Structure 1
Amino acid sequence: MERCDDNQRHWYRELSQSDQRPQLLKALGCSQAFTDYCCRIPDALKQLHEAGLLSAPLDYPALLDELQGEASAVADADALAACLRRFRNRHWLRIVWRDLNRLATTAQTVAELSDLAVACIEVALDFHYQAMTEEWGEPRSKDGEPQRMVVIAMGKLGANELNLSSDIDLIFAYPEAGSTEGGRRSVDNQEFFIRLGQRVIKALDALTPDGFVFRVDMRLRPYGQSGPLVVNFDALEEYYQDQGRDWERYAMIKARCIAGDVASGEQLMAVLQPFVFRRYLDFSAVEALRDMKGMIQREVQRRNLEDNIKLGPGGIREIEFIAQCFQLIRGGQEASLQARSLVTVLNELRELEYLPTNAVKELEQANGFLRDVEHAIQAWRDQQTQQLPTDQAARDALAWAMGCPDWQAFSVELARHRDKVAKHFANIVADPDEGSDVEPNTLAHWHTLLDELDHDHVRQQLEEAGFDDGDEAARMLVALLSSAAVQRMQSSGRERLYDFMPLLLEAASEAEHPTQTLLRIIPLIESVLRRTAYLVLLMENRQALGHLVRLCDASPWIARQLAAQPVLLDELLDASSLYSVPDKDGLRSELRQRLLRIAEDDLEAQMEALRYFRLAHVLRVAASEVSGTLPLMKVSDYLTYIAEVVLESVLDIAWHNLTDKHGHFAGIDEARKHFVIVGYGKLGGLELGYGSDLDLVFIHDLPAGLATDGDRPVDGTVFFTRLGQRIIHILTTQTRLGALYEVDMRLRPSGNAGLLVSSFNAYRDYQRGQAWTWEHQALVRARVVAGDELLAEKFTHLRRELICEQPRDAATLKEEVVAMRNKMRDHLLPKGSGGEKVAQFDLKQGLGGIVDIEFMVQYAVLAWSNQHPPLAHYTDNIRILETLQQQDLLPEADALALIDAYKAFRSQSHRLSLQEQKGRVADSELRDERDTVASLWERLMA
């Protein structure tokens, strides 16, 4: 402290005798640089202490305001350089004090270091821009628009995770070409900004008697050191589109505009985003990532980096690599993975279940520990190093900084974390051939087959491999590989296809029906010829390829769904979720989490999320059914749950959209919607199939005369009509992922001629006075599936009243029900072609089929609920049949026979649906069930 005067020495003596003595000793003992700065700037620590800045964080606005105040008094570049360095060194002391004494979290430390760097860059840029415009004038575009430089931070600064003595990786750009105006002489914009960039770098990077501010690295710019220091946006965009390499995608994940014309910079980032994050699952990045991983491993061995806690095995770089692999592959689909912060991304990987909770916990703990070690190493001499020290004093200081009793204890703890990181790193983008059951010479056989696309040769080889119809398989295979679409592919894509086909042929040869399976998968291949990343997905995940073959072997419907929406291949990656489905609460929670990651005003993204959710879960139901893990009754239940959860979210989205535009209803509880969606038919009866549409009715109970209170108010009738329209729009609009559901609104009062949304009173009056018998039959299977709970209770009460209390003559009711059944059979029962060798039975409309059971149930409910109210409780046929038996209205044997028949018909219907066959079976099938139903019809309805 030789530079200190008596007052300063007295202050340090007092501090060393205060309760902050341990903190002072730790800062001085663990950082020689801290001691050096205290000697060189003896007032700095005292000023920080008296301002209370050693015990509290400092945010970016406060840092910038302080630096701008100090810089406002400087007159030239040299004075600015000195000002920046004094500012940096003073706050470096503050940050190191807080970090070593654990008064700040690791996240706070890196954030404050990043804010410190950004403030210095912003002030240096502003100062030199003003100085240069006085000499050369203001840069303008060819249209006369003022131009400012944009500073893009990469790496740790981009992620807001700068360390204590880190380089700052920057890219400089400006919006448009042009020249300066208003100065002593005019120069081209690029020349102006290159000189500006050079001055900013010098202000930060040059070593002066006061040290440096931050070392600046510009090598991540286009063309690296051989490229111009600054380019305009068009040139930057063209470079990344035409020449951007995989490692540059990797680097751009953390890119952030930090200074200058940030608003224009954000627009540039939006344009560049598709370069970084592909719209689809980008497994094409895996090979590049595998190469990067190999380079990392080879570099560790070549440079003997065992003692480097960033670059060595199990180090910080490996943690970052793990996170960024998922970002590159899945970031285009999962916006939450586009975050720059490593900690944020790791948390998202846990939330999205891409990494196990325990793995993320280990990586987070290791990252926190290693970053603290990195800071302690760099705090020792304020040097950019991540190398473990060899000097005993430095080792003792590092162990002390990390809270360990000695170097040995520290080494054990460090090794524990690094071993865990190395284990997880080894598992990322591992070569799929490692541990594969497929013999290399087997695949070589298939490669040889594809080299010689002669039909007879291919047919012979396929037949020898077990393909049951080698001629047809060869025809389709040769047609695919000889097609114009394949010939037009880029060489890299064609290579992927030819690498994939041997794996597919080998897997298909193991299927129960090899030729049929191959023919079902070929349309999927044709659909992804321009997006061969999906083929890489299957090559990288051999189990997923196995699931694809098994599912397509079992069901052409599944094969067609995958061909239409290849994005669903992602669902094949996890067998535990593919062959199981969550309950309704689980479905609701998953969809809510998906939608929470999307901005509330981004309707397009919400619609895509809803569609993917529905497609993915219907695929899981189908996979579970064909694998035998989900029985028939559960299949319909889950398909219905999926629709209900989707409808709940669609209503919430549409409601938010309308209230955001028109406001809420004055004087009405905003928590209530006063609106319900009523499901009829299969939806109401919990009996949805894979291709079922939704029979819906919309009802509201808002008091008359109310209007919304927003800037664009509308009355209640208009509001709810628009709400209904918006719901139908969200459900039925064709997007990239198709429509959510087909919707049928014909069961509303007065059918297509009626209002889209009925008031509750109007609905009640219609049902009491104007509804036909068939409409009350439909009401048997009606229930609220989404919307306001109080209105749902009112509807349920009204339904029971209409079913139980409406006066009905049994004979007349029976006559009308039978007449409607005969009319349906005449109009809907498929007519035979006359040339069929074997007559067919239509499962739904045929005599003794599904609709006969449904009509008997509906008749029984309408005829007998007056004396037996429990009949009106359920809306699904099986539980109503059970209630009929419990109420002694149907003999137990008859009830069980109808239930068994109904299950048999529906089970067969589901199987046929998955086989993409019409709902008919040979006339000889299900004879006992049909005869039972027909006999009971005669007894009950004749």
Structure 2
Amino acid sequence: MSGTERSSSLTTLARAGFGQLTAADTLLDELAAELGIPRLDVVTGADAAADPDAAITALARIARRDPAPVRAALRADPVTLWALLGASPGFGEFYARHPAELAFLEGAGASLPSGDELRAELLASVAADEDGFAATGDETAWVALRIRYRRLLARIAAFDLRAPSAVDVLAPVAAALADAAGAALEASLCVARTRVTTGGAGAGLFPREQVAAVRLAIIGMGKTGARELNYVSDVDVIFAGGADDAVTEAIGESRVTDIATRLAVQTMRGITSIEIEPPLWEVDANLRPEGKQGALVRTIDSHVSYYDRWAKSWEFQALLKARPIAGDRDLGDAYIAAVQPKVWTSAARENFVDSVQRMRERVTEHIPAAEVAYQLKLGPGGIRDIEFTVQLLQLVHGLADERIRQRGTLDALDALVAEGYIGRSDAATFSHDYRQLRVLEHRLQLRNLRRTHLMPTTPEGLRVLARASRLADTGDGVWQLWESVKREVRDIHVRLFYRPLLSAVAALPSDEQALSPAQAHDRLAAIGFRDPTGALRHIGALTSGLSRKATIQRHLMPVMIRWFADGVDPDYGLICFRRISERLGDTPWFLRMLRDSSGAAERLTRVLSGSRYIGELMEWIPESVAWLDAQESLKPRTGVALQEEARAIQARHAPIDEAMRAVRALRRRELLRLAIGGVLGILTIDELAHGLTTISEVTIQATLRAVRREVVPEEDRALDFSVIAMGRFGGGELGFGSDADVMYVYDANGLDPQRAHTLATQIVTGLRTYSEDQRVPFELDAGLRPEGRNGPLARSIEAYAEYYRRWSLSWEAQALLRARGVAGSVKLIRRFMQLADDVRYPAAVALQDLREIKRIKARVENERLPQGVDRSRHLKLGPGGLSDVEWLVQLLQLEHGHRIPSLQTTSTLEALAAAVEAGLVPETAAERLEAAWRLASRLRSANTLLSGQTSDVLPVDRGKLDGIGRLLEYPPRSATLVEEDWMGTARRARRAFEKLFYG
């Protein structure tokens, strides 16, 4: 060939889609010579190949073994040959093993084989007789079956590849693939019958008449049952066995079961065992009762008994597509008749929502992170999302409407449209997306005749996929299509499942399909609303009418319903949102934020459905919704800024009632800011503790200023008064719902002692009165003062000094370890802290005092726990709880604080770290103690945020535990995990505590 001819040939190859031109040109020369066909005739039809390079490589390989079938195929139907080998090097390997099979490709793309034709062909491949026995039971029968199956598979693929639109023929192609799978199982069952009568390897040996009398039905599940199978997919099955009463009585029920089980095992082996001809696909029987642990074959009665007594909701959902596909048809029909009614009542089961959600989560939780973006089937926006949505709609409404009880996804979509459960335009888009995804999946599996659901990761792989699917012109185009469909499918669940809920209560566009109130009620119940009737009422109030606000709410509500449903308490979240919307009315910024900031709207649903504490406060401070649009707004404000605002408030409001009302509003606002930041994961536990301590200090300082101005006359202003923070308040470790432990000290500064005491007592009374807040309680607890609740509320600095010098008990010195001045006279605070240091950091501690502290700790554990409360669940006083860590640290501070200055801190964790550095606590023990202290603190705050009520006890209720877990960023339905984490953490901390405290 001249240079000019060679150049022209390469140009022709490039136009046909070849990429490796030199290699293809060499192979073309080889084929032309081997086959005796002109080069131009060899490449006729090559432009039909998705990957011409792979096709010509396959042709050369086959021709080297036997050129005659290749020559005949190229002359008879070259387009089909090139199309098949170009889309599937896997078929190239098949024809390389069996070149003579090429003869059956002629005209293969003209039509699909019918179900009867597939069955007849595959039964003929094993020479099955009228009684269902194959001519032979050895491995040659399996090989013949597999070769014939692949011949028919090639015919289906040829039709698929040559169709003008693969999307349009997806349904019949998938149905033919399912029919072929059923026929293959039927043929393999015939071989199995012969094997168990002739004693094939591992098959056993039974009389032919007994084998013939035993009935075995093979039930197709999943895509096989729905007649929407892939080219290479696991075929999910369930086996039902049995025999007539006379047979069972004659040979015994156990023998009937034994024969049926042997038949099932051998049937599966015929498809999946390693032989000369590779396996066809995996036969998966793990959807049977009890899964892998359960019997492979059961009678119908045994199946029904299991489903009545033990089955979980997801198992009924798995039966939605069940269909007899092989074996005894009457037995298969009886099985379906027995189990189908149970499928359509499963949505009424109490745990339906949880079980369906768990199924949905299991789909994605095991996907490797690197594969998520490429997962056609399991990833976000993939095939499974579509199937899940359709099945959920069917299960919710199929209980009352038999017309939507369809097995196939596309058939179910059509039925849902026809019966008014979804809109036509949405369903059409959804259907088209589903078909496109399935076509991509089919082309990927055809490539190597292997099960895969991953998009290509290379430009060449994408280019071949684009040509094979004809859904895009380039590799970039097919990737863009995939990304576009993913985004649409992610959103489609909302459009199909949630938006029609509005039709029951609000005016929607005329083309929107309507749900009746009863249907909307069922759908809301299915997604987790405990009071669907109330939810419908609230949705109606939010979306009805012609106002701009109602219009925006109608557009947003479908998405928000979904977000509420994903939350801990969707009912509370929805009603709270309604109240806030009504409070804000037509406020422009609110409507604009809802419309334009989907992030803010989602965060709003999250905090309202996850925290009653937030919901109740937000109803009183609805303008706080604006914070959700900017993360900076949820950061704690500094103490200086809050002090300035509090002083400004008091300057504007002279009457104490007005001033304190404004100060309480300031405190509520900042508590809400902190709560939202905590629930959304913006703030750490340390930031929350600091923020809560700061707003408590500012509140006390502002209240003290107001009360002094009201109570102390001008002539008595020499009186000094201060508030000392104690306990977790003093340590800067407050959580939501924590009391503020305090002590009050004064200095008469020359005033009459009795007059000074009277004024100090009036100040304390005023502090307690004006700091009270019915909305968010703020209790100033003086229980840690000398003599406890029996001692005076306020003492002079001299009285404190005298008391601690003469009568102080060990627990009172211990209490002072977290004393810290927070309000009032700075000079007086300094004097009090000097006094406290002498008491809490003594040069030496009497052994008797240490023993007394340990005795009190043991008594507290035994006597102060609420009656009937499980000790292990008490986060403060229980084993491994807050008091264990705090008492141990305080004991070390009392013993060693005088000589180790770093122990002289009111912070529990800072003191623990200092103890580690000083060698007083092993590092491992400290880690366990800190972990327990932090987890207990977080659980206490989360419990308060969830319920709006303060409690030191970890709830027993699974719903509350799950809600706490969600606030602490556990995955949904983590009640058991939360419980186990606390119990394990507390147990390890308790062991460390006992060794260090009592040891």
TM-score using structure 1 length: 0.45
Q: Which has the higher contact order (CA 8 A, sep 6+)?
A: 1
Q: Which has the higher helix share?
A: 2
TM-score computed with the length of structure 2 as normaliser: 0.43
